[in-house]
Amino acid sequence: MLQRSSTWLAVLLVAALALPTFANHLNDAGFDATVASLGTNGASNGPWYNWGWSGFHPFGGNNPEWWGDSAALYAGTTDGAPDTSGIFHPGFGTSQGISLEGVPFELQVDLMPQENFAAILRVGIQWRDAGGQNEDTIGESSITIDLTDPLTDPPGIIRGDGAYDTVNFTTNAPPNAYYAVPFVEASAIVDTATAEHWCYIDNISLNVVGNLVTNPGFENGSDPSPWVVEGETSLATWGGNPGRHIWWLADDLSATGSVYQPGICAAEGNTYEISITNSFYIYWAADLEFGFKWMAADDETEIAENVTLLTPLGFPPLPYERFTFTATAPAGARFVRPIIRYSNVQQVPSTVDNSAPTDNVVVTLISGVVPDEDGDGVDDCNDACQGTYAGAPVDDTGRPIADLDLDCDVDLADYAIFTQSFAGPQ
């Protein structure tokens, strides 16, 4: 699917509608992390990799407040050109345990081809097996954008206007898929023999469709929010799957720690699934649990919890594995908190290899319905204006867009405030 979006239009929409953020599993989605320290070969930008005539640049990005960094594919000449050029990210996945088969993913990419960029673009996800992120591809899901005709733009793409176009599609992981590796590729380059022949790329998002968790990969820089981190638990900037992750350190017999996320709406009788990816270092010796805490309407009073002990699939050291757990919300539950915690450290060897990093938390509703009494698309737990009339346009808090006096309806009082803002001739 292609959709048109310019930078300034995006700013106005976000300001007016307070659109929710996209829950992204990729760190450095906007290529803004390490461009300045790339060196001369441009082989990688943090977690990103490139091949052929492509690179990463400290300009050309699609940040509403500043241009920022971007990736770019070059299609200036066919003389000595590689067969393909592109970028890819190690992506999201597991090494062992439960495969990704059937998991729905959404991939979203911003593209800005210059006036004379002429090539075939492919945007997609490569699926890798349990051998790892760099192993053989077992298949791919992608869409093709034909830009080989320099005079005709395909639907949804306008070359040379200095604005980004958004490409997105949804697909399910195939059998035997353990890694989802997003990529953008250019091929079949047409030699236009003129300047302005780059295609800039920015803001690539890979999301598990239906994930209720915000910041599932702990990638918000040094800030883990909205996760709450307690005890001897830390956010690590390396060694994740990929990028950042939560770091459990069993270096003291009394060590304990937890991480949980508040604010996720639930309803009694609904069934939820949590999945995480976890690794275990060779001297890890502690109990690691994950599951759910069920909270009352104030999201502070605990009603019950359902957690399970996470058992490694073998003897450490172990690569990242995917673990899942399912539970049903009890009576009175209005919020659900995914929680991971450790305790009962059994030994402290004289080594640093006694940790167990956690990454990629996914919580999905697998049966039941999201409580939304007025049907405005905002769940009851986070709806500031419950009972809005059917079809009323609302922001992400459930408030009608034209509710200027913040009383949850739209009436003459709102119209009066609106007319007071007129600055031109009456």
Q: For the residues of 71-112, what is the DSSP string, one character each?
A: EEEE-S--TT--SEEEEE---EE-SEES--TT-EEEEEEEEE
pLDDT at 304: 97
Tell me, yes or no, whether 390 and 354 share the same domain: no
Give the tens place of pLDDT for each residue, 210-240: 889 988 888 766 778 899 999 988 887 665 6
* Total domains present in the chain: 3
| Dist. CA 34–CA 53, nearest whole Å | 19
Q: Is residue 26 part of a domain?
A: yes
Tell me, yes or no, whether 179 and 255 share the same domain: no
> What separation in angstroms does the CA of 136 have from each of 132, 140, 381?
9, 11, 44
pLDDT at 235: 80
Tell me, yes or no, whether 143 and 26 share the same domain: yes
Tell me, yes or no, whether 202 and 309 share the same domain: no
Whether residue 108 is predicted with pLDDT greater than 60 in this model: the reply is yes
pTM above 0.85? no
Confidence band, pLDDT 50/70/90 cuts, at residue 40: very low
Tell me, yes or no, whether 76 and 190 share the same domain: yes
Confidence band, pLDDT 50/70/90 cuts, at residue 335: very high
Q: Over pLDDT 90: what percentage of the chain?
A: 26
Instruction: Quickly count: other Cβ atoms within 10 Å of residue 331's Cβ.
Output: 9
Summary mean pLDDT of the chain = 78
Give the tens place of pLDDT for each residue, 356-368: 889 889 899 888 8
pLDDT at 132: 61
pLDDT at 59: 53
* More confident of the two residues 217 and 65: 217
Q: Rounded mean pLDDT of 302-330?
A: 86
Give all strands of the β-sheet with 165-172 in edge-to-edge order. 2-4, 165-172, 104-113, 198-208, 70-74, 54-57
Tell me, yes or no, whether 190 and 92 share the same domain: yes
pLDDT at 336: 96
Whether residue 49 is predicted with pLDDT greater than 70 in this model: the reply is yes
β-pairing verdict for 96-97 and 318-328: parallel
Whether residue 400 is predicted with pLDDT greater than 50 in this model: the reply is yes
Tell me, yes or no, whether 237 and 203 share the same domain: no
The DSSP secondary structure of 356-398, one letter per residue, reads --EEEEEEEEEES----TT-SSS-GGG-SSTTPPTT--B-TTS
Span of 99-103, 153-157, 200-204, 285-289 with lowest mean pLDDT:
99-103
CATH number, position 16: 2.60.120.260
Whether residue 316 is predicted with pLDDT greater than 60 in this model: the reply is yes
CATH number, position 322: 2.60.120.200
* More confident of the two residues 258 and 30: 258
Whether residue 268 is predicted with pLDDT greater than 70 in this model: the reply is yes
Q: Is residue 58 part of a domain?
A: yes
Q: Is residue 214 part of a domain?
A: no
Q: Is residue 394 part of a domain?
A: yes
| Structural domain containing residue 84 | 2-208
Confidence band, pLDDT 50/70/90 cuts, at residue 372: confident
Tell me, yes or no, whether 290 and 346 share the same domain: yes
pLDDT at 281: 86
pLDDT at 306: 98
Span of 233-237, 241-245, 331-335, 402-406 with lowest mean pLDDT:
241-245
Q: Is residue 217 part of a domain?
A: no
pLDDT at 351: 64
Confidence band, pLDDT 50/70/90 cuts, at residue 17: very low
Tell me, yes or no, whether 92 and 241 share the same domain: no
* More confident of the two residues 273 and 71: 273
Q: Is residue 379 part of a domain?
A: no
Whether residue 135 is predicted with pLDDT greater than 80 in this model: the reply is no
β-pairing verdict for 243-248 and 302-309: unpaired
Q: Rounded mean pLDDT of 197-204?
A: 87
Tell me, yes or no, whether 7 and 122 share the same domain: yes
